């Protein structure tokens, strides 16, 4: 069964404490893997697209990496404004599969 | 400013009433999508459209209907047949083709009592 699993469900970090969020997938025919940030009550905001294993993308304190079975979103020295839910989506063929997200809280 | 707009932000309806959610984009995207988001669940696809005057059912289309008369617009009607309509509804759009990221609107929170 095609599916996307994100872990952990929730993560609390001290400001400056780096960590990683995981997105594992069992979707055949990977066309792309997408990371989004979602603030409460708002629509997801696009962050990155990764297409093939070994690819990496960076934006400010965030870095996304991709292997054949999973992707990591690394957060370096997070700030309170990085607090949000981070969603992972995988496109297999024409279908998009979304994970349930990781809720990140960064404590000052 | 290019983007996707959804209106209204909040919507309240009584059971048994149909309601239409608006979605407009000026990104010149060919494809548009409607998702439903419930707490603890991933986004679930309701309907999508790759071109004007054509659309396909997603995973949870029952109780919903759409139209795509213009490239920029993709309204969603939640009918009285939808058994559990209270949810956060998200519209998205993308270019068509092999693989393009979807861009989302701000969402509409629908409450049916």
pLDDT in tens, A20-62: 999 999 988 889 999 999 999 999 999 999 999 999 999 999 9
pLDDT per residue as tens digits for the range B9-49: 999 999 999 999 999 999 999 999 999 999 888 899 999 99
The C-alpha atoms of residue A101 and residue A84 are separated, in whole angstroms, by 10
- Judged by CB atoms closer than 8 Å, whether chains meet at B41 and A45 is answered as no
The pLDDT confidence band at residue B97, using thresholds 50, 70 and 90, is confident
Contact (CB, 8 A) for A76 and A61: yes
| pLDDT of res. B45 | 95
Q: Which residues of A touch B98 (CB under 8 A)?
A: 31
pLDDT per residue as tens digits for the range A61-86: 999 999 989 999 999 999 999 999 99
Q: Which residues of A touch B41 (CB under 8 A)?
A: 100
**Could you tell me how far CA A80 lies from the centroid of its own chain?**
18
- Cβ neighbours of residue A91 under 8 Å, at least 6 residues apart? A27, A30, A31, A32, A33, A34, A97, B99
| pLDDT of res. B98 | 67
pLDDT per residue as tens digits for the range B69-89: 999 999 999 999 999 999 999
Taking the alpha carbons of A45, B47, B85, B111 in that order, is the dihedral positive or negative? positive
The pLDDT confidence band at residue B99, using thresholds 50, 70 and 90, is confident
The C-alpha atoms of residue A64 and residue A86 are separated, in whole angstroms, by 12
pLDDT per residue as tens digits for the range A84-97: 999 999 998 878 89
- Judged by CB atoms closer than 8 Å, whether chains meet at B98 and A46 is answered as no
The C-alpha atoms of residue B43 and residue B83 are separated, in whole angstroms, by 18
Q: How many residues does chain A have?
A: 108
Computed over every residue of chain B, the mean pLDDT equals 93
Tokens of A76: 């370096």
What are residue A82's phi and psi, to 5 degrees?
A: -80, -5
Contact (CB, 8 A) for A104 and A11: yes
* Per-residue CA distances from A42 to B84, B88, B89, B112 (Å): 21, 9, 10, 20
- CA Rg value for chain B: 13
Contact (CB, 8 A) for A23 and A89: no
Give the CA angle between residues B37, A63, B103 to the nearest 5°. Answer: 35
* Per-residue CA distances from B80 to B10, B21, B30, B48, B91 (Å): 18, 14, 29, 21, 20
| pLDDT of res. A13 | 98
The answer, for B10 touching chain A at a CB cutoff of 8 Å, is: no
- Rounded to a whole number of angstroms, the distance from the CA of A59 to the nearest CA of chain B is 16
Q: Which residues of A touch B103 (CB under 8 A)?
A: 46
């Amino acid at each position: 069964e095609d599916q996307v699993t994100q872990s952990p469900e929730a993560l609390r970090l001290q400001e400056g404490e780096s960590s990683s969020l995981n997105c594992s997938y069992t979707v055949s025919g990977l066309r792309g893997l997408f990371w989004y940030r979602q603030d409460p009550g708002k629509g997801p905001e696009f962050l990155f697209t990764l297409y093939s294993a070994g690819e990496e993308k960076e934006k400010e304190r965030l870095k996304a990496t991709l292997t054949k079975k999973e992707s990591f979103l690394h957060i370096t020295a997070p700030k309170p404004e990085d607090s949000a839910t981070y969603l992972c989506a995988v496109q297999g063929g024409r279908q998009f599969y979304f994970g349930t997200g990781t809720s990140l809280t960064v404590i000052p | 400013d290019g983007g996707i707009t959804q209106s209204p932000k909040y919507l309240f309806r009584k059971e048994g009433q149909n309601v239409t959610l608006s979605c407009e984009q000026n990104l010149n995207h060919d494809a548009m999508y409607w998702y439903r988001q419930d707490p603890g669940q991933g986004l679930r696809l309701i309907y999508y459209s790759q071109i004007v005057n054509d659309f396909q059912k997603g995973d949870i289309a029952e109780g919903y209907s759409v139209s795509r008369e213009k490239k920029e617009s993709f309204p969603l009607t939640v009918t009285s047949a939808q058994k559990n309509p209270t949810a956060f509804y998200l519209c998205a759009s993308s270019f068509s083709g092999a693989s393009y990221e979807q861009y989302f609107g701000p969402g509409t929170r629908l409450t049916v009592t």
